[in-house]
Amino acid sequence: MQARLVKRLVEVDSTNTVAMEMGRQGARSGTVVVAESQTRGRGRLKRPWISPPGTGLYFSMILRPDLDPVDLSKITLVAGVAVCLALEAECHVRLGIKWPNDLLLDNRKLGGILTEAEPSAGGDYLVVLGIGLNITSREASFPDDLRKHATSLLLSTGQRFERDLLLAAIIRRLDEMIPRVEQNGFSEAFAEWRARDASKGRTLSWVTASGEVVEGIGQGLDDNGAYHIRGADGAIHQILSGDLNLASTP
């Protein structure tokens, strides 16, 4: 097996941007780009991902998954499970996931995943999994509007975890899980996702991509990787885009 390239950068605009460019230039599947800080870190739905030095883990992994294009969006759910399994083993915490892959600790956001994909020259797909985790952030490190909804491993556990150890543990889980879904499908990974579903049975609102708000109760993940909510009128909505907001604590 060839050694993995882990490209370490002090400051970068976004590790996803660098990884995507490296992928276009032919970088191998499994290549990782990790940065101490990002000046233009980005999250889902065009949100910024504030990435100051020293307090977070910010990295992207290049993948060229051997999957049907319709299954590519499921990779992001698998990555969420991989991060949960790694952190649960290393930090003795139990994480929740809010669709598609907000990683929650104590019901607050600990991290997130931004997956970007494009067709590549070889006919397969180039996928970049970008993972951001709050490791030693203090409350003051979060912008005012996020403070009540965010946490870090330090804030929730009182402990300082080594970022490199966590990075290695997450990479190991991704290395195990991606070939398994390529060979056996998603059922095993989705069972792990469902076991951490933070929204099932809870009141939540779904903000559609066009900004419409639908309120309902979380019903769970289907086998296509979509999330279902039951609206006040009893109708089931299948969610494949947009954002879910939990309306109450369980």
CA distance 148 to 135: 17
Q: What is the dihedral of CA 163, 53, 134, 84, to 10 degrees?
A: -40
Contacts of 218 (CB under 8 A, 6+ apart): 197, 199, 200, 201, 202, 204, 227, 228, 229, 244
**Residue among 30, 58, 62, 82 that touches ligand BTN (CB under 6 A):** 58
Listed ranges 83-91, 127-135, 145-153, 208-216: which one lies at the site for ligand BTN (CB under 6 A): 127-135
Q: Is 130 in the site for ligand BTN (CB under 6 A)?
A: yes
Stretch that binds ligand BTN, among 23-31, 35-43, 169-177, 219-227 (CB under 6 A): 35-43
For the bound state, the minimum distance from the C-beta of residue 111 to ligand BTN, rounded and expressed in Å, comes to: 7
CB 236 → ligand BTN: shortest distance, Å? 26
Cα–chain-centroid distance for residue 37?
18
- Contact between 220 and ligand BTN by CB under 6 A: the answer reads no
Calpha distance 105→247 (Å, rounded): 16
**Does 47 engage in binding with ligand BTN (CB under 6 A)?**
yes
Site for ligand BTN contains 114 (CB under 6 A): yes
38 binds ligand BTN (CB under 6 A): yes
Strands 125-134 and 203-207: unpaired
| Cβ count within 10 A of residue 116 | 18
Q: Which of 132, 216, 218, 225 binds ligand BTN (CB under 6 A)?
A: 132
Helix axes 75-91, 187-195, angle to 10 degrees: 60
Distances (CA, A) of 211 to 15, 123, 146, 167: 28, 35, 20, 35
Does position 242 bind ligand BTN by CB under 6 A? no
From 13-21, 69-77, 170-178, 227-235, span contacting ligand BTN (CB under 6 A) = 13-21
For strands 203-207 and 213-221, give the pairing.
Answer: antiparallel
Which one of the spans 36-44, 71-79, 195-203, 219-227 is the region binding ligand BTN (CB under 6 A)? 36-44
- Among 60, 76, 141, 219, the residue binding ligand BTN under the rule CB under 6 A is 60
Containing H/E element for 119? strand 108-119
- Closest to ligand BTN by CB, 42 vs 200, is 42
Residue pair 75/47 in contact (Cβ under 8 Å)? The answer is: no
Contacts of 168 (CB under 8 A, 6+ apart): none
Among 32, 42, 77, 125, binds ligand BTN (CB under 6 A): 42
Q: Closer CB to ligand BTN, residue 43 or residue 220? A: 43
Helix (H, G, I), strand (E, B) or coil at 186: coil
Part of the chain binding ligand BTN (CB under 6 A), chosen from 8-16, 24-32, 166-174, 226-234: 8-16
The CB-nearest residue to ligand BTN is 112
Structure tokens at 108: 């607050």
Binding site for ligand BTN (CB under 6 A): 14-16, 38, 41-44, 47, 49, 58-60, 102, 112-114, 130-132
